[in-house]
Amino acid sequence: MLYLECQEHDPPIRASKPSGRTVYELPKIRAMVAQREYWIAEYEATHREAPSAVELERFFGQYDLNTVVFLQAHPRCRIRLADNEGNHYDGS
């Protein structure tokens, strides 16, 4: 599993929920990090219309929802990714 980490903290803050399963999903996750203003706005607009967690997950998909929720809490932080084996990957 891949998790976002905020590097503005020491040690970095790791997301509690994964953003993807494998490294093949890194490009998509990095694109979301790069365009986080857009995704955060999408999330907030959707959240206003459909506030239930089930509907949000249906709209974004489980992993993308996890990504955008973490990005909303870290709108300007340096982000990297980590997996369960202790590997780290650039966030952009």
Residues engaged in binding Zn ion (CB under 5 A): 6, 8, 74, 77
Nearest distance from C-beta of residue 14 to Zn ion, angstroms: 11
Q: Which residues contact 21 (CB under 8 A, 6 or more apart)?
A: 1, 2, 63
Euclidean distance between CA atoms 47 and 88, whole angstroms: 31
Return the number of the residue (57 or 72) whose C-beta is nearest Zn ion: 72
Answer whether the bond into residue 51 is a cis peptide, omega within 30°: no
Structure tokens at 79: 């982000």
Return the number of the residue (52 or 92) whose C-beta is nearest Zn ion: 92
Nearest distance from C-beta of residue 52 to Zn ion, angstroms: 27
Return the number of the residue (8 or 90) whose C-beta is nearest Zn ion: 8
